[in-house]
Amino acid sequence: MRVVSVEMRDFRTYARAEARIGAGLTVVHGPNGAGKSNLLEGIYFGCTGRSPRTRSDRELIRFGAPATRVAVRLLDGEEPHELTVGYEAATGGAQAVKRMSADGAEVERLLDVPSRPLISVFMPDRLELLKGPPALRRAHLDQVVAAIWPARAQARREYSRVLAQRNALLARIRAGRASHAAMATWDRELASKALTLREQRAGAVNLLAEPFALKAGQLGCNGEVSIEYRPRSKALDEDQFVAELQERLDGDLERGFSGHGPHRDELAIVRDGRELRVYGSQGEQRLALLALLLAERSVLARERGRTPLMLLDDVMSELDGERRELLVGELSAAGQSVIATTDLGHVPTAGEAHVTRLRISPGTILQEAIAA
Partner 1 sequence: MSTSYAPPVQRLVTELSKLPGIGNRTAQRLAFHILRTSPEDAVALAEAIREVKEKIGLCEVCFNLTDEARCRICQDPRRDQELICVVEEPSDVIPMERTHEYHGVYHVLGGALSPIDGVDPEDLKIAELLTRAASSQISVREVVLATNPTTTGEATALHIAEGLRQRAPQIKLTRLASGLPVGSDLEYADEVTLGKAFAGRRTV
Among 6, 43, 100, 162, binds partner 1 (CB under 8 A): 162
Among 91, 179, 281, 282, binds partner 1 (CB under 8 A): 179
Among residues 269, 316, 277, the alpha carbon closest in space to that of 122 is found at: 316
| Angular region, 331: left φ>0, alpha ψ -120 to 50, beta rest | alpha
Of 185-193, 196-204, 307-315, 344-352: span binding partner 1 (CB under 8 A)? 185-193
> Could you tell me how many residues of this chain bind partner 1 (CB under 8 A)?
20
Rounded alpha-carbon distances, angstroms, from residue 230 to 19, 85, 199? 42, 37, 12
Q: Which is nearer to partner 1, 181 or 372 (CB)?
A: 181
CA gyration radius, the chain: 23
Q: Which is nearer to partner 1, 126 or 193 (CB)?
A: 193
Count the alpha carbons within 13 Å of 3 in the hemisphere toward its beta carbon.
35
Q: Which is nearer to partner 1, 172 or 264 (CB)?
A: 172
| Binding pattern for the stretch 136-155 against partner 1, x by CB under 8 A and - elsewhere | ------------------x-
94 interacts with partner 1 by CB under 8 A: no
The least distance separating partner 1 from the CB of residue 51, rounded to whole angstroms, comes to 29
Centroid of chain to Cα 160: 19
Among 181, 236, 278, 372, binds partner 1 (CB under 8 A): 181
* DSSP H helices in the chain: 36-48, 128-131, 134-148, 154-174, 183-219, 238-247, 249-255, 276-279, 282-304, 321-333
88 interacts with partner 1 by CB under 8 A: no
Q: Which is nearer to partner 1, 259 or 345 (CB)?
A: 259
Among 172, 232, 304, 306, binds partner 1 (CB under 8 A): 172
Instruction: Give the whole-angstrom CA distance, residue 302 versus residue 297.
Output: 9
Among residues 191, 166, 165, 181, the alpha carbon closest in space to that of 244 is found at: 191
Q: Which is nearer to partner 1, 163 or 299 (CB)?
A: 163
189 interacts with partner 1 by CB under 8 A: yes
Contacts 24+ apart (CB under 8 A), 304-308: 304/147, 304/148, 306/1, 306/118, 307/118, 307/334, 307/335, 307/336, 308/117, 308/118, 308/119, 308/120, 308/147, 308/335
Strand partners, 84: 71, 101
Rounded alpha-carbon distances, angstroms, from residue 14 to 5, 53, 61, 239? 15, 17, 9, 57
The least distance separating partner 1 from the CB of residue 240, rounded to whole angstroms, comes to 18
Per the CB < 8 A criterion, the answer to whether 323 and 290 are in contact is no
Of 60-68, 168-176, 206-214, 245-253: span binding partner 1 (CB under 8 A)? 168-176
Among residues 343, 315, 358, 319, the alpha carbon closest in space to that of 42 is found at: 358
First-to-final CA distance of the chain: 15
Of 159-167, 215-223, 286-294, 341-349: span binding partner 1 (CB under 8 A)? 159-167
The least distance separating partner 1 from the CB of residue 183, rounded to whole angstroms, comes to 10
164 interacts with partner 1 by CB under 8 A: yes
184 interacts with partner 1 by CB under 8 A: yes
Among 116, 138, 156, 166, binds partner 1 (CB under 8 A): 166
Of 165-173, 246-254, 263-271, 305-313: span binding partner 1 (CB under 8 A)? 165-173
Q: What are phi and psi of 51, to 5 degrees?
A: -95, 140
168 interacts with partner 1 by CB under 8 A: yes
Among 188, 248, 255, 323, binds partner 1 (CB under 8 A): 188
Q: Which is nearer to partner 1, 178 or 301 (CB)?
A: 178
Helix (H, G, I), strand (E, B), or coil: what is residue 366? Answer: strand
Residues that bind partner 1 in the complex, under the rule CB under 8 A: 154, 158, 161-162, 164-166, 168-169, 172, 177-179, 181-182, 184-186, 188-189
